Chain A
Amino acid sequence: MKILVVDDSRVMRQIVCRTLRQAGFVDHHIVEAENGAHACDVIAAERPDLVLSDWNMPEMTGIELLAHLRNNGQQVPFGFVTSEGTQEMRDRASAAGAIFLVAKPFTADMFQDALTPVLG
């Protein structure tokens, strides 16, 4: 499967990729984008099977990216990996169509619990 990791922090994209491997998701192809607007281009070109996105980013936020995708009929599975872990943000994410929200700081176990239903 192909996973798109969207985060404006290069180190966090690297940490997410490392944690995916630690959680046992080792045979997946990872592509990256540095904000929501960039992710739109990458999604059109790469057709990922799952999007893991930060929430707060310049250019286009994660929630704006999710709304843009759904408004354009794209139903790619979408989860947030964000420092925004309040119930309010979880409710907003769920209402917009996200299937999970993993709050930073996270562990490999949290990735396993959230991603196994999608990636198997």
Chain B
Amino acid sequence: MNETIMLEHRDLEDIVSQVWTSLMAQETANAAPWESVASDVVAAGVAISGCWNGWVVVETSQQGALDLASTLFDLPRDEIAPSDLADALGEVANIVGGSVKSTLTGTAELSLPSVEHGPSTIAGLSEASLQVHAAWQSHPLRISVLDDNSKSTKEQS
């Protein structure tokens, strides 16, 4: 059974803000929830397993991921290879996931990041109970914390 994660919406907003400020020296802004998942979305996720089991997923548009990689590599957009884009967004998910994991009181492991182009195949992501919608350089961002227990409960019902 999962430990109850002591993370509130405001805490996740603070984590996202801190990651963007530290990594890119840029602020994120609050944004309205996505009405639908765009087809050009890129999703990077890390799994946490142990006292709490679930996923932390960072999603943005293809252009957003490209600008993020361009900023982190300090390279022009046309010099960013697809592997660079996956590396950069995966590392952001890794850092956000590590910050979420640090709020747990028990023992847990953090997976290596995985990156998907197109809507994420992680089941139940759209209904994640803890979700921050933000904007960075006018690009959409969605950061989700998805509890595996809530997912399986939904699948059973």
Interface of A with B (CB < 8 Å)?
Answer: 8-12, 14-15, 18, 56-58, 82-86, 88, 103-107
A86 and B101: CB pair below 8 A? Answer: yes
Closest to A58 in B: B112
Total contacting residues, chain B, CB less than 8 A = 26
Binary contact track B111-151/A, C-beta < 8 Å → 1, others 0? 11000000000000000000000000000000000000000
* Complex interface: chain B residues within 8 A of A88 (CB): 107
* Complex interface: chain B residues within 8 A of A82 (CB): 98
Closest to A84 in B: B98
Binary contact track B94-117/A, C-beta < 8 Å → 1, others 0? 110111011010010011100000
**Given known contacts A83-B110, A88-B107, is B84 in contact with A104 (CB within 8 Å)?**
no
Interface of B with A (CB < 8 Å)?
Answer: 18-19, 21-23, 69, 72-74, 84, 87-88, 90-91, 94-95, 97-99, 101-102, 104, 107, 110-112
B91 and A12: CB pair below 8 A? Answer: yes
Query: What secondary structure prevails in chain A residues at the interface with B?
Result: loop
A to B contact number (C-beta, < 8 Å): 59
* Complex interface: chain B residues within 8 A of A11 (CB): 69, 72-73, 84, 87-88, 91
B102 and A86: CB pair below 8 A? Answer: yes
* Complex interface: chain A residues within 8 A of B98 (CB): 82-85, 103-104
**Once bound together, how far apart are the Cα atoms of A84 and B102, in whole Å?**
7
A104 and B107: CB pair below 8 A? Answer: no
**Once bound together, how far apart are the Cα atoms of A83 and B94, in whole Å?**
7
* Complex interface: chain A residues within 8 A of B72 (CB): 11, 14-15
**Once bound together, how far apart are the Cα atoms of A35 and B84, in whole Å?**
17
A84 and B110: CB pair below 8 A? Answer: yes
**Once bound together, how far apart are the Cα atoms of A82 and B99, in whole Å?**
11
**Once bound together, how far apart are the Cα atoms of A85 and B104, in whole Å?**
11
A15 and B23: CB pair below 8 A? Answer: yes
Cβ distance A44 to chain B, nearest Cβ, rounded Å: 25
B102 and A85: CB pair below 8 A? Answer: yes
5 A-B pairs with least C-beta separation: A83-B98, A105-B22, A9-B91, A104-B95, A11-B88
Closest to A54 in B: B94
Cβ distance A33 to chain B, nearest Cβ, rounded Å: 16
Cβ distance B70 to chain A, nearest Cβ, rounded Å: 11
* Complex interface: chain B residues within 8 A of A105 (CB): 18-19, 21-23, 95, 99
A10 and B84: CB pair below 8 A? Answer: yes
